[in-house]
Structure 1
Amino acid sequence: MDPTRTAPVPLPVRLASGGPARDAWPLDQKIVHLNHGSFGAVPTEVVRHQDELRRQADLSPVAWFPRAPELVAAARHEVAPFVGARAEHTAFVPNASAAATVVLNALRLEPGDEILVSDHGYGAITMGAHRLARRFGARVRTVSVPLAATADEVVDQFRAELTDAVRLVVVDQITSPTARLLPTARITELAHERGARVLVDGAHAAGLVEDAAAVAGADWWFGNLHKWPCAPRGTALLVTEATDRDDLWPLIDSWGAEERYPERFDRQGTLDTTSYIASPRAIEFIEREYGWARTRETMAALADHGAAVIGAALQPHVDAPVATDVGLPVVSMRLLRLPEGLGRDRRDADELRRRLLDLAGVESAFTSIGGVGYLRLSVHLYTEPRDFDAFVERAVPQILAFADERRRR
């Protein structure tokens, strides 16, 4: 990625229905929204659909809740093919971390067994791996993956760490802190040769990777629908064809506990499952209005343009290249290096995010990798080129002021 503005400026996206994509999401127009990857954004059409489902539940709870599992199952059959899965292998869960917990709760280890994670993993998932290890006297080892590693280099790093003691590998399909792809199918093949099983964190993969669950190659895969597919928040999928999938249980028991996987996940008492039921509408909305393949192409062009605009503004203030090589970038996110002293750890990165929202009205994400801070830029169809200009105008001065404060400490 070249941090100069050489490519044509992308035009704002217009949907098949004729209006600008910006108007199809109920986002605050006073805020610059450049962090879709953290919590997603739900189109107005989908918000209204979910509101209507909730209205039905409130109008007649006794009619709604006994029937809700049927609606969840129907939604499951609709959305499973979107990630290349079959409905009978797919369960709805509240989020990616919940899916990981479901799997980790089902596993049994022996003292001395090992779990492999990477240093690009999502913190909450890695914490779950450590908790599993503590329960059984096992241990967690971390595979170090260079930020710019190629697919072959990543595989070599895992190969070097896969001992006969490894029973489980936990690896990201798309890394959250570093916004890059990892070759999970190849890693799974290696792990299986050594007798280890693989849990793939596809939290960011649905929508960005076609048939994400199918191509992951894992024993278990999970991914959020409330990120790039723009489903209501609290909507994720757990997918597995493992022969022991009946060992997987929802985090809360219900009257469906004696049903098999995945049906036992459809019945969750008085839990608001309207997010699950509404999720097919979100996937269909983007396909109908723009097309998923075209959406990925457009997000890549927007992300490249944004990285060029913001990178050009930051480069004079950064001693290293702002444009960051992540080896295998994803279509919708880019990583840009920050001035010295910013983002030295997660707490510092979070402080910068809060500061820019409060002082500049900019939603953004920052991450820390090896003591170095980065801006993680992420876009969707509602993103417009003017958003990147607004970031330069409103956020870059705050970033530089914050960096100056740090240097004076």
Structure 2
Amino acid sequence: MRDLFLIDPKVTYLNHGSYGACPKSVFLDYQNFQKRLEKQPVQFMTKYFWEDLKITRDTLGDFIKCDGDDILLFPNPTTAINNIIENLDIAEGDEILTTQHEYGALIRAWNRLSIRKSFSFIQQKIDLPLGSKDTFIDQFCAGINEITKIIFISHITSQTALIFPVEEICKIAKSKGIITIIDGAHAPGHIDVDITQIGCDYYTGACHKWMCAPKGSSFLYVAKNFQKGMSPQIMSWGEEGDDPGPSQFLMDFQWQGTKDMSAFLAIPSAIRFLQKNKWKEKSVISKNLISHLAGRLKDILGTESLFKNKNWIGQMISHPLPMDSPYNLKDMLWNDFKIEVPIFDWEKRNYIRVSAHFYNDQKDMDHLIKALKEIF
């Protein structure tokens, strides 16, 4: 599988989770859209683009199991979430409930808005290591009260690489009239995503991560009852433009000024690549690599996993490092072993996060373990 990707063969690349990796065939389709744009910019932007964008929305909708006309395309989930929260009717005294595991950039976005609107942003503490699903749900839902307006939670967390039970959380939230926003940046193409079954009000995911689409391609699903009245942060032509979109929602958001949208149009190519290469079967292989690695990291580093059973992880694992780890561990792994892997701080502790995708194999994991043994 490695030869299907553009990843440097001299590098042990264990950081698919940060920016993904684009297969050669998908990247070629991406460039072909760019060539079509430059060959006839006016016809492409005013006519053909809208036809191809409809194909993208519908193909993506089939993949994540929702109506394509409920999907907006954004360059990344951070931009998508910022557009959501600026449209929410949050009053002084309301509470937004989340966890301490959420993505740092979005915590900053919520905190900024909370200062402006005088609401409380509550990061519910979840005990680690994670045990049963019921215990997680009980701990999280203990933070719900009569003034909880919105629940914001990751499907798969960025820092801790844990898969959260969002479907069960959404069901509880709906019974209490609470709005649900799911940060699914790491989920599509990593695990099977069924937005209709999840039952959330908003869901954002990155296509350029585990779906392997070109960089700058992500989506936002908005349930139909929340679309009316939504306004983009960047106001453009809307219904007065060239967009023949079927709703005000799409017309307002699909065009926000001139830019190269080829990455969006290559999303169907990425989905075809996944399906052609039986991504669900390959994901099981990648998960097995990570599951086996979990025990080896625990033994070598002498630290405990963030979970008691492996149902909490997929193709990615975060593991705590010893307190006396070298401050320049990331540089050591890169400079001495040509291993690309993130090292980061979370909750006053350093972690290593390892991703496995189609192009990774046991040799990659063995190389990491060998390097860690030499260092530790």
1:335 equivalent in alignment to 2:323: no
CA contact (8 A) 1:115 1:133 kept: no
> Helix, strand or coil for the counterpart of 1:170?
strand
Q: Does 1:373 align with 2:350?
A: yes
Structure 1 residues 292-318: Cα deviation after superposition (integer angstroms, max 9, x where no partner): 32122122122224445x52xx73552
- For residue 219 of structure 1, report the CA deviation from its aligned partner: 1.0
Partner amino acid, structure 1, of 2:265: I
The answer to whether 1:272 aligns with 2:260 is yes
Q: Look up the match of 2:99.
A: 118
The Cα of 1:52 is off from its aligned counterpart by 1.2
Q: What TM-score comes out, normalization by structure 1 length?
A: 0.83
Deviation at 1:287, TM superposition (A): 0.9
Q: How far apart in 1 are the matches of 2:125 and 2:239?
A: 40
Aligned residue in 1 for 2:243? none
1:50 partnered with 2:38:
no
The AA in structure 1 aligned to 2:319 is L
Matches within 5 A, 1:84-95: 84-95=65-76
1:297 aligns with 2:284: yes
Q: Which secondary structure does the structure 1 equivalent of 2:312 belong to?
A: coil
| Counterpart position of 1:390 | 367
1:282 positional shift = 0.7
* Cα distance in 2, alignment partners of residues 125 and 317 from structure 1: 31
Alpha carbons of structure 1 residues 340 and 315: separation in structure 2 relative to 1, 3 Å: farther
How far apart in 2 are the matches of 1:304 and 1:375?
15
Query: Displacement of 1:263 after TM fit?
Result: 3.8
Equivalent pair of 2:291/2:310 in contact (CA under 8 Å): no
Q: Distance in 1 between matches of 2:372 and 2:319?
A: 14
Residue in structure 2 matching 1:211, options 179, 187, 193: 193
Q: How many Å separate the matches in 2 of 1:270 and 1:360?
A: 43
For residue 393 of structure 1, report the CA deviation from its aligned partner: 3.5
How far apart in 1 are the matches of 2:156 and 2:194?
10
1:158 aligned to which of 129, 140, 143: 140
Normalised to the residue count of structure 2, the TM-score between the two structures is 0.90
Q: Distance in 2 between matches of 1:233 and 1:213?
A: 23
Residue equivalent to 2:63:
82
- The yes-or-no answer on 1:180 pairing with 2:162 is yes
The structure-2 alpha-carbon separation of the partners of 1:45 and 1:179, relative to structure 1 and needing over 3 Å to count, comes to same
Asked if 1:197 is matched to 2:164, the reply is no
Q: Secondary structure at the match of 1:214?
A: helix
Q: How has the CA–CA distance of structure 1 residues 51 and 315 changed in structure 2, closer, same or farther, with 3 Å as cutoff?
A: same
Provide the C-alpha distance between the structure 1 equivalents of 2:320 and 2:371, rounded to a whole number of angstroms: 18
Note closer, same or farther for the CA distance 1:139–1:23 as it changes in structure 2 (3 Å cut): same
Matched, 1:256 2:233: no
- Correspondence 1:167 to 2:149: yes
Conserved 8 A contact 1:324-1:337: no
The AA in structure 1 aligned to 2:374 is P
Structure 1 position 78, deviation (Å): 1.2
Indicate the RMSD between aligned Cα atoms, in angstroms. 2.2
Q: 2:2 aligns with which of 22, 28, 49?
A: 22
2:164–2:312 contact (8 Å) kept in structure 1: no
Task: Answer yes or no: is the 8 Å Cα contact 1:202–1:212 preserved in 2.
Answer: no
- Give secondary structure in 2 for the equivalent of 1:334: strand
String of CA shifts for 1:136-188, please: whole Å, max 9, x gaps.
Answer: 11111111112314221121112211111111111111111111111112222
Q: Aligned partners of 1:198, 1:186: CA distance in 2, in Å?
A: 11
Name the stretch that deviates more: 263-272 or 110-119: 263-272
Partner residue, 1:362: 339
Which one-letter code corresponds to 1:238 in the other structure?
L
Question: Is the 8 Å Cα contact of residues 226 and 236 (structure 1) preserved in structure 2?
Answer: yes
Cα 1:265/1:307, change in 2 over 3 Å = same
Amino acid at match of 1:273: M
* Aligned mates of 1:295, 1:124 — CA distance in 2: 31
Indicate yes or no: 2:123 matched with 1:142.
yes
CA contact (8 A) 1:199 1:219 kept: yes
Query: Counterpart of 1:336 in 2: which secondary structure?
Result: strand
Percentage identity across paired residues of the two chains:
27
Q: Deviations over 1:168-215 (max 9, x none)?
A: 111111111111111112222222333321111111111223234233
- The answer to whether the Cα contact below 8 Å between 2:73 and 2:219 also exists between their aligned partners in 1 is yes
- The superposition leaves residues 70-90 of structure 1 with CA deviations (integer Å, 9 ceiling, x where unpaired) of 321221111111111111111
2: CA distance between counterparts of 1:391 and 1:49?
33
With over 3 angstroms needed to count, the CA separation of the structure-2 counterparts of 1:27 and 1:316, relative to structure 1, is closer
CA contact under 8 A between 1:84 and 1:211: conserved in structure 2?
A: yes
Cα distance in 1 for residues equivalent to 2:290 and 2:135 = 25
Secondary structure, counterpart of 2:225 in structure 1: coil
Task: Give, in whole Å, the separation in 1 of the partners of 2:105 and 2:283.
Answer: 27
Moved more, 161-170 or 54-63: 54-63
Instruction: Encode CA deviations 1:228-257: one digit per residue, 9 max, x unaligned.
Output: 110111111111224131333334222236
